[in-house]
């Protein structure tokens, strides 16, 4: 693999619907579809209505893309776990890391973009060349403690509209109980795709 690992976080209660539709959908595509929201509603709204991906055709909104981080233990996960987004404090236990890599995402043939920080922020820059990976602050992205580097830590890889479930290579879970829940959902589905499933406690706070 010459690309970068890519992590999308979602609540375990959303997994059945993801598999049933055979895809991770962008927030724009999810409008009206029941799901467990884990982020700030006002931030999602900004990404859907004002923040744009400047390098993409027609400058679509960030919310029209499926977002991935380049490492686990994201700033978003930390924020959600503290209760700041409206969910109960300590709620990270039910949040999954859906893992793939940027080579796989690029090979989908869908429009994609790289942000150099939080894709919803006004001062973020966007690129559609893999050369932009060299411009990211990898020390911040990989850091366990990122005070003062929050924006850089939030760099994203964005894929337009949807990412097929078949592109997901692994599922990282907080504990064995959630791992078993994930296993049951996947095994009960008619979809033949079977990503690896593992407890990755070090990916959480």
Instruction: List the catalytic residues.
Output: 47, 156
**3-state SS assignment for residue 10:** strand
Distances (CA, A) of 174 to 82, 96, 171: 16, 7, 10
Q: What is the pLDDT of residue 24?
A: 97
Q: What is the pLDDT of residue 155?
A: 98
Q: What is the pLDDT of residue 38?
A: 79
> Encoding tokens for residue 183?
């296993």
Torsions phi, psi for 25 (to 5 deg): -105, 150
Q: What is the pLDDT of residue 94?
A: 97
pTM of the model: 0.95
Q: What is the pLDDT of residue 27?
A: 94
Q: What is the pLDDT of residue 173?
A: 98
Domain boundaries, the chain: 5-203
Distances (CA, A) of 170 to 29, 58, 85, 124, 157: 23, 33, 26, 29, 17
Q: What is the pLDDT of residue 37?
A: 79
86 φ/ψ sector (left φ>0, alpha ψ -120 to 50, else beta)? left
- Output helix, strand, coil percentages for the chain, rounded to the nearest 5: 35, 20, 45
Residue pair 83/68 in contact (Cβ under 8 Å)? The answer is: no
Alpha-carbon distance of 192 to 194, in angstroms, equals 6
Beta strands, E only, 89-133: 95-101, 112-115, 126-127
- Spell out, as residue ranges, where the chain has pLDDT lower than 50: none
Q: What is the pLDDT of residue 1?
A: 62
Torsions phi, psi for 97 (to 5 deg): -105, 115
């Amino acid at each position: 693999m010459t690309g970068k690992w890519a992590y999308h976080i979602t609540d375990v209660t959303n997994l059945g619907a993801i598999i049933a539709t055979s895809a991770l959908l962008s927030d724009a595509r999810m409008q009206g579809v029941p799901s467990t929201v884990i982020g700030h509603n006002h931030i999602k709204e900004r990404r859907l209505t004002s923040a744009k991906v400047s390098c993409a055709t027609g400058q679509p909104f960030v919310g029209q893309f499926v977002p991935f981080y380049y490492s686990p233990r994201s700033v978003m996960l930390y924020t959600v776990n503290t209760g700041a987004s409206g969910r109960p404090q300590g709620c990270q236990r039910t949040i999954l890391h859906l893992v793939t890599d940027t080579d796989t995402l690029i090979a989908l043939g869908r429009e994609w973009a790289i942000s150099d920080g939080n894709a919803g922020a006004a001062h973020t820059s966007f690129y559609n060349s893999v050369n932009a990976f060299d411009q990211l602050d990898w020390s911040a992205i990989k850091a366990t403690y990122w005070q003062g580097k929050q924006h850089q830590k939030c760099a994203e890889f964005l894929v337009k509209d949807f990412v097929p479930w078949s592109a997901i290579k692994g599922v990282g879970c907080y504990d064995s109980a959630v791992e078993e829940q994930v296993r049951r959902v996947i095994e009960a589905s008619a979809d033949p795709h079977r990503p690896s499933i593992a407890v990755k406690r070090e990916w959480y706070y």
